[in-house]
Structure 1
Amino acid sequence: MTINDVGCHARESVDSAVALFHSLSDGTRLAIVRRLAGGEARVADLVGALDLAQSTISAHVACLRDCGLVQGRPEGRQVFYSLTRPELLDLLAAAETLLAATGNAVALCPNYSTDTGEKS
């Protein structure tokens, strides 16, 4: 293996991590993942829990499914969705620990803040 091979592998690894975190960067998708952490649910259950339109929930569930984070289990005319990997729960727990340790630093970050107000 050459140094260039290591560099290419590292870049692919970073690209994959970027895609993973991007899939979780949307508030609705993250809320769906958090809800599914408590057990499987149908789209109708997610609509009720998150108070969003069925089409919105379906689109976000499809995104998570395409990313391999969520899977569907058909039962009759219904599909029950669940998380595909228990490691995702570990990632969420680690994120909560990191957020607790950094306090408001991430929320106040001018580049990544979720504040939609105008900056002075």
Structure 2
Amino acid sequence: MLDTALDTKVQFLHGFSHRTRIQILDLLRTGEKTVSEIMQSVSGSQSSISQHLACLRGCGLVSGRQEGKFMYYSLSNENIHKLLNMFDEVLTDVANDVNSCQHQIND
């Protein structure tokens, strides 16, 4: 694999590497939301949520549209929705292994 393709893959996967970003992605599976709506469901300050949304946009996972004074965020396309569903399916199969992993993450 070319280094640029690998770098692109790593950058894409970075969007999935934080608990808050996963919470945001799971929330957006039900439809578009404003930052305020996201803040009601995901713990964090507006600044923190906005930074995570910027990361998700930069990774191509989330898109935003402006309507009046509000920005509405949604999953960038149906393939992202399918990928999140696939994660859930795979995790069902490997949950015990993941939970016993010795390399625990720290947020």
Is TM more than 0.5 here? yes
**Alignment partners' CA distance in 2, 1:64 and 1:52:** 16
Which amino acid letter does the alignment assign opposite residue 40 of structure 1?
E
- TM-score normalized by structure 2? 0.88
Instruction: Answer yes or no: is 1:19 the counterpart of 2:14.
Output: no
What's the counterpart of residue 48 of structure 1? 40
Instruction: Answer yes or no: is 1:71 the counterpart of 2:63.
Output: yes
- Structure 1 residue runs of 4+, over 4 Å off? none
Cα displacement string for residues 10-56 of structure 1 (whole angstroms, at most 9, x for unaligned residues):
x4333322222221110101111111111000001001111321111
**2:30 pairs with 14, 30, 38, which one?**
38
Cα displacement string for residues 63-104 of structure 1 (whole angstroms, at most 9, x for unaligned residues):
111222111111111111111121111111111111111132
Structure with max Cα Rg: 1
- TM-score normalized by structure 1? 0.79
5+ unaligned residues in a row in structure 1: which ranges? 1-6
**1:106 pairs with 90, 95, 98, which one?**
98
Tell which has more relative contact order, 1 or 2 (C-alpha 8 A, sep 6+): 2
5+ unaligned residues in a row in structure 2: which ranges? none
Residue 65 of structure 2 contacts residue 71 of structure 2 at CA under 8 Å; is this kept in 1?
yes
**Alignment partners' CA distance in 2, 1:50 and 1:20:** 22
